Amino acid sequence: MEDSIEVILQDAGRVFPLSTPHPILSACTGALLAGLYGVWSLFAMPGCRKIPWRLKVPYLPSSKDQTLNVMKLLEGRTGHLADLGSGDGRLVFAASSAGFQCTGFEINSILVAYARSKALWTGVPPNQATFVKKDFWKTDLSSYNNVTAFLAPGVMELLGEKLLKELPDDARVIACRFPFPNWPHQSSAGSSLNETFAYDISAVRSHLRNAPNTAA
Ligand SMILES: C[S@@+](CC[C@H](N)C(=O)[O-])C[C@H]1O[C@@H](n2cnc3c(N)ncnc32)[C@H](O)[C@@H]1O
Ligand SMILES: *[C@@H]1O[C@H](CO)[C@@H](O)[C@H](O)[C@H]1NC(C)=O
Ligand SMILES: *[C@@H]1O[C@H](CO)[C@@H](O)[C@H](O)[C@H]1NC(C)=O
């Protein structure tokens, strides 16, 4: 939010490996991306009416601190990771450089295309960062036990229900900025806007069993 456009510009500069990020080229790429995103919202959004209005989540890139806090809470874990709503792929790239094989689910085709081309330009192997243009509400997530989500406050409760139904007991879920209501977190990193929460599904399940009135 606070630095989204700077971050996009900065990232756009990194896509094209110039000796130093060229300010004019970065600005052009940033403007192009913003423009494409505007076009997408105008024309493609109506096509996404399948997603109920209350489940719509805006694109809001995570800040450097938020990304670092997510990585902190993933420390010690490896293997496959799913990022729900991967945006321009910044969390996926951070996780893949930390050794995860990461799949980003993203419904906005422009962001998917951008993330894929960024992977190509920066030479991230496809098995380490995969971007899938898919609605995660309609995706079975039961094969993942490492999940990250930076979404919106209004969808966290419903997402919590979905994850409790699908994820295995040993799953760890990282929520960036917006916590799951009624879930006890194992640990957190950062504060205020940068705060990131880690949940162990087995602990959440046993907590909700012992306090069934708060279970949704
Ligand atoms: C707050 S942004 C986070 C982007 C990225 N993870 C980051 O950290 O910068 C949320 C993203 O989720 C995507 N999204 C929202 N609903 C979705 C859905 N049902 N399926 C897949 N992606 C979705 C949005 O398009 C948006 O890019
Ligand atoms: C998720 O992380 C754990 C802990 O590092 C790892 O054992 C597991 O294999 C990972 N999950 C998958 C599906 O790779
Ligand atoms: C959160 O991150 C921003 C930059 O992304 C930083 O300026 C700010 O100090 C951080 N806030 C806290 C409370 O850590």
The helices-and-strands tally (H runs, E runs) of the chain is 7, 7
Domain of residue 35 covers 4-50
Q: Are residues 124 and 23 in the same domain?
A: no
Q: Are residues 46 and 126 in the same domain?
A: no
Q: Are residues 46 and 124 in the same domain?
A: no
Cα of 211 from ligand 1 centre, angstroms:
31
Q: What is the predicted pLDDT for the residue at 104?
A: 98
Q: What is the predicted pLDDT for the residue at 16?
A: 41
3-state secondary structure of 214: helix
Q: Which two tokens stand for residue 143?
A: 């094969």
Mean pLDDT by 10 residues, the chain (216 residues): 43 44 66 68 55 87 96 93 97 96 96 97 95 96 96 96 97 97 96 96 96 60
Neighbours of 111 (CB within 10 A): 24
Q: Would you say the CB of residue 193 lies under 6 angstroms from ligand 3?
A: yes
Measured in degrees and rounded to the nearest 5, phi and psi for residue 162 equal -60, -45
Q: Are residues 45 and 59 in the same domain?
A: no
Q: What is the predicted pLDDT for the residue at 139?
A: 96
Q: Which two tokens stand for residue 192?
A: 């205020």
CA distances in angstroms from 67 to 56, 72, 149, listed in the order given: 22, 9, 11
Q: Which two tokens stand for residue 213?
A: 């009135």
Q: What is the predicted pLDDT for the residue at 19?
A: 47
Please identify which residue in the block is written with the tokens 């996780």: 95
Measured in degrees and rounded to the nearest 5, phi and psi for residue 20 equal -125, 150
Q: What is the predicted pLDDT for the residue at 37?
A: 67
Alpha helices in the chain (DSSP H): 4-15, 23-43, 64-74, 90-97, 109-122, 156-166, 201-210
Measured in residues, the chain has a length of 216
Cα of 136 from ligand 2 centre, angstroms:
20
Q: Are residues 44 and 119 in the same domain?
A: no
**Which residue CA neighbors atom 8 of ligand 1 most closely?**
62
3-state percent breakdown (helix, strand, coil) of the chain, nearest 5: 50, 15, 35
Q: What is the predicted pLDDT for the residue at 211?
A: 80
Q: Are residues 129 and 164 in the same domain?
A: yes
Split into its structural domains, the chain has a count of: 2
Q: Given ligand 2 and candidates 73, 75, 80, 144, which is best to mutate, with the most ligand atoms within 8 Å of its CB? A: 80
CATH number for the domain harbouring residue 148:
3.40.50.150
Q: What is the predicted pLDDT for the residue at 54?
A: 82
Under a CB-based contact definition with an 8 Å cutoff, are residues 40 and 99 in contact? no
Q: Are residues 67 and 135 in the same domain?
A: yes
Given 12, 30, 50, which residue is the final one in a domain?
50
Q: Would you say the CB of residue 157 lies under 6 angstroms from ligand 1?
A: no
Q: How far apart are CA 41 and CA 109, in angstroms?
A: 11
Q: Are residues 19 and 96 in the same domain?
A: no
Please state whether beta strands 196-200 and 172-176 pair in parallel, antiparallel, or not at all (unpaired): antiparallel
Q: How far apart are CA 23 and CA 119, in angstroms?
A: 22
Please identify which residue in the block is written with the tokens 């450097």: 64
Q: Are residues 25 and 77 in the same domain?
A: no
Q: Would you say the CB of residue 202 lies under 6 angstroms from ligand 3?
A: no
Q: Which two tokens stand for residue 64?
A: 């450097």
Q: What is the predicted pLDDT for the residue at 55?
A: 87
Under a CB-based contact definition with an 8 Å cutoff, are residues 70 and 196 in contact? yes
